[in-house]
Amino acid sequence: MSTTNSLHKILIVGGGAAGLELATSLGKKLGKPGIAEIILLDASQTHIWKPLLHEVAAGTLDASEELEYLAQAHRNHFRFRLGRMVGLNRATQEVTVSPTISDEGEELIPERSFHYDTLVMAVGSISNTFNIQGVEQHCMFLDKAVEAFKFQKHLVKACIKLHAQHENNNEQQLSIAIIGGGATGVELSAQLHEVSRVLAIYDLAEGIDKIKITIIEASPRLLSALPSNLSIATQKQLVKLGVDLKLNRRVVNITDTSIETHDGEIIPADLKVWAAGIKAPDWFKDLDGLEINRINQLVVNQSLQTSDTHIFALGDCAACPWPGHKENVPPRAQAAHQQATTLHKTLVNRMSNKPPVDYVYRDYGSLVSLGKYSTVGNIMGNLMGTVTIGGFMARVVYLSLYTMHQAALFGYFKTTMLTLSNLFRSTISSRIKLH
């Protein structure tokens, strides 16, 4: 009979970059030798690295980059459970999971609970709508792969209709508005411009020049987290591509056909994407008394531990202190990767009653990809001062971030093979997804 029930149970909620990397490394270190039972819980069956979702939305990246949780769990000695966490009982150390319902409304898995000895919250973040009227009803989001695929389907349909209207001498324009001038909004706008150019190759050239892309940003400049010279360089590149920039404009209302800003301007928009800020999920407010901040993030100490010694948090859903700075560790992919590495050490130590390891954020800079057109950013961050890079070198560094994530999941040899495979596949695949 299996003895797994007597093992220390580490339950990781959320299979994003941080959660999946942690489950993979702990599965190899603690799951394989039978030191602990590692369980990963997620509401989706597949994983896509979140910084790639703007490419999924534009159709320049398809489902081939999705990773099956069950397959990853089998190969790396942890267990995957499908479900959405809805409650926490700290006294009994149990997590409640809602029923899993099929698209047809059939209950596939009833409501159930999972016991834990150590709980890790790694659910990531969702868009912060700031309670602005009309956002939930009329905007699309890029928080999850399913939302990105949904936007992509709407985009293809809209382009096909635009092409057909042009054939009928209808000069109607397709307007796409992106609310938020951070990395997601900027990268999505560049990808959408590339899509409009690539569609010409597939006999959809007529009418595609009628696509209008607008970014609406409340701050005076795009990419406010980056140095001003990089922000200005990005703005110039986007203007060159024909992207309309509405800076210093705060959105106050969104309807089915338009966006209203604080100064009374009405901006027509057929497709609207909200990318104007993040927060942790609203149900974090009811996590059995755990402390959260104003955007629902779980407050943790330097070792990523909450006020409950059995519960840790990492990634976008954690408010982690950044020594020497007024703000917390920023919600970036590099931070999630670093935190997963640190928390792995802490949880391994925990098995032998050794002290936790403090997490120290290493800022290696920021990079923003403008697709085939450019990549801008700064590297090394606080380690050696800011070093501005751009063009091909910045693109290589940008892609290496994803390679690091893949290496954490598959190892370096398999990652190399995957990279080569993708290069060969790109020579026979369509450059964008057309269905």
Q: Mind giving me the DSSP string for 65-102? A: G-EEHHHHHHHHT-EEEE--EEEEETTTTEEEEPPEE-
* Per-residue pLDDT at 152: 86
Say how many C-beta atoms besides its own lie within 10 A of residue 359's C-beta. 25
Contact criterion met (CB below 8 Å) for 79 and 112? no
In this prediction, residue 334 has a pLDDT band, given cuts at 50, 70 and 90, of confident
Q: Greater confidence, 226 or 300?
A: 300
**Residues 155 and 142: beta-carbon distance below 8 Å:** no
3-class secondary structure, 371:
coil
pLDDT of residue 207: 46
Backbone angles phi, psi at 283, to 5 degrees: -70, -5
Q: At what angle do helices 17-26 and 69-76 cross, to 10 degrees?
A: 30
Mean pLDDT of 27-43: 97
User: Of 322 and 51, which is predicted with more confidence?
Assistant: 322
Q: According to the model, what pLDDT value does residue 57 have? A: 84
In this prediction, residue 154 has a pLDDT band, given cuts at 50, 70 and 90, of confident
Encode pLDDT of 81-125 as tens digits. 999 999 999 999 999 999 988 888 899 889 999 999 999 999 999
Q: How far from the centroid of its chain's Cα atoms is residue 55's Cα?
A: 11
pLDDT of residue 156: 80
Q: CATH class for domain 4-125+280-350?
A: alpha beta
Q: pTM (2 decimals)?
A: 0.85
40 contacts 81 by C-beta, under 8 angstroms: yes
CA angle 33, 37, 41 (to 5 degrees): 135
Predicted confidence at residue 237, as pLDDT, reads: 87
Q: H-helix or E-strand containing 318?
A: strand 318-319
Lowest mean pLDDT among 184-188, 243-247, 287-291, 346-350: 184-188
| Overall average pLDDT of the 313-319 stretch | 97
**The pLDDT of residue 206:** 52
Mean pLDDT of the chain: 84
CATH architecture label of 135-274 = 3-Layer(bba) Sandwich (3.50)
Q: What is the separation, in whole angstroms, between the first and last Cα of the chain?
A: 49
Highest mean pLDDT of the ranges 128-132, 156-160, 169-173: 128-132
Please determine, for residue 278, whether its predicted confidence score (pLDDT) is greater than 90: yes
| Alpha-carbon gap, residue 311 to 88, rounded angstroms | 11
Kindly state the average pLDDT of the residues 135-141: 96
Residue 107 phi, psi (nearest 5): -80, 110
Q: Is the pLDDT of residue 433 over 50?
A: no
Tell me where in the chain the CATH 3.50.50.60 domain(s) lie: 4-125+280-350, 135-274
Tokens of 247: 């800076």
At 41, the amino acid letter reads L
- At 122 the pLDDT is 98
Pairing of strands 278-279, 126-127: antiparallel
Helices (H), 384-411: 391-410
- pLDDT band at 24; cut points 50, 70, 90: very high
pLDDT of 191: 85
- 8 Å CB contact between 255 and 138: yes
Q: Give the count of beta carbons closer than 10 Å to the beta carbon of residue 63.
A: 11
Q: What is the pLDDT of residue 362?
A: 86
The dihedral over CA atoms of 142, 280, 16, 178, expressed in degrees to the nearest 10, equals 20
pLDDT over 70 for what percent of the chain?
Answer: 80
Rounded Cα distance, 90 and 310, in Å: 9
Residue 340: both structure tokens together: 């997963």
The predicted-structure confidence for 181-231, as pLDDT tens digits, reads as follows: 998 899 889 888 877 666 554 445 554 557 899 999 999 999 887 778 888
Element (H, E) at 279: strand 278-279
Q: What was the pLDDT predicted at 239?
A: 92
Q: What is the sign, positive or negative, of the torsion defined by CA atoms of 109, 298, 218, 379?
A: negative
Q: What is the pLDDT of residue 258?
A: 97
SS (H, E, C) 6-61: HCEEEEEECCCHHHHHHHHHHHHHHHCCCCEEEEEEECCCEECCHHHHHHHHHCCC
β-sheet bridge partners, residue 87: 96
Q: What is the rounded average pLDDT of the residues 3-18?
A: 86
> CA-to-CA distance for 50 and 61, rounded, in angstroms?
12
Q: Give residue-wise pLDDT tens across range 349-407.
A: 999 999 999 999 987 766 676 765 555 555 544 433 444 444 444 555 556 666 777 77
Instruction: pLDDT band for 1, please (50, 70, 90 cuts).
Output: very low
User: What integer is the mean pLDDT of 230-236?
Assistant: 86
What is the reported pLDDT for 201?
45
Q: Within 168-218, where are the H helices? A: 183-198
**How do beta strands 112-115 and 174-179 pair?**
unpaired
At residue 282, the pLDDT reads 94
158 Rama sector, left if φ>0, alpha if ψ -120 to 50, beta otherwise: alpha
